[in-house]
């Protein structure tokens, strides 16, 4: 009985540390950015960290994303370009931030049972589609972009990098077994 209580406590402590760790990794990955002159959305490592958070945390990934956003809302410079505060959410990356939360809330319920590269890739591609859907919709709504302009500004410059990030995260999941 005592062993199972200790194991549960250790498991809970480990999960809490993992949740906070992925929140911190989201902050760090926001600072690894490459601004692109033709789009208001910079290239970052955030989606890669986001995919890993879903792989490792599954249903608790939403807590990691919520903590990340709460830190930014509280005024800490955690977003891309040291951004923070409520007004940052009205910027060009606001839709992607919302997409992180929505995708981390929905997709862990559809985690692939079979651990194959192609199932993992397809699953993470679906996660990316959700995030980019929110990002493109936000660009169309807030900045009055046409669908074509929003896709060119918010998806096309990142497509090849996303394929690489999704492939890398799929391989990591495959190696976890």
Which pLDDT band, with edges at 50, 70 and 90, does 122 fall under? very high
Indicate the average pLDDT of the chain.
Answer: 93
Looking at the whole model, is its pTM more than 0.85? yes
- 1, pLDDT greater than 60: no
Kindly write down the DSSP assignment for every residue of 48-90, as one continuous string.
HHHHHHHHHHGGGHHHHHHHHHHHHHTT-S-BGGGB-SGGGGG
Reduce the DSSP state of residue 40 to 3 states and report it. Answer: coil
Q: Was domain 2-176 assigned CATH 3.20.20.70? A: no
Q: Structural domain boundaries of the chain? A: 2-176
Tell me the pLDDT tens digit for each residue of 5-60. Answer: 658 878 899 999 999 999 999 999 999 988 888 888 888 999 999 999 999 999 99
């Amino acid at each position: 009985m005592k062993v199972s209580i200790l194991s549960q406590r250790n498991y809970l402590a480990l999960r809490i540390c993992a949740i906070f760790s992925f929140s911190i990794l989201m902050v760090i990955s926001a600072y690894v950015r490459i601004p692109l002159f033709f789009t208001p959305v910079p290239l970052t490592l955030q989606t890669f960290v986001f995919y890993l958070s879903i792989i490792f945390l599954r249903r608790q990934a939403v807590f990691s994303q919520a903590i990340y956003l709460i830190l930014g809302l509280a005024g800490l410079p955690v977003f891309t370009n040291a951004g923070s505060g409520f007004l940052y959410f009205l910027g060009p990356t606001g839709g992607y931030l919302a997409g992180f939360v929505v995708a981390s809330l929905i997709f862990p319920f559809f985690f692939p049972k079979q651990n194959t590269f192609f199932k993992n890739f397809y699953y993470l591609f679906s996660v990316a589609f959700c995030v980019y859907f929110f990002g493109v919709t936000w660009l169309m709504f807030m900045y009055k972009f046409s669908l074509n302009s929003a896709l060119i500004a918010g998806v096309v410059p990142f497509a090849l990098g996303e394929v690489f990030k999704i492939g890398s995260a799929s391989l990591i999941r495959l190696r976890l077994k």
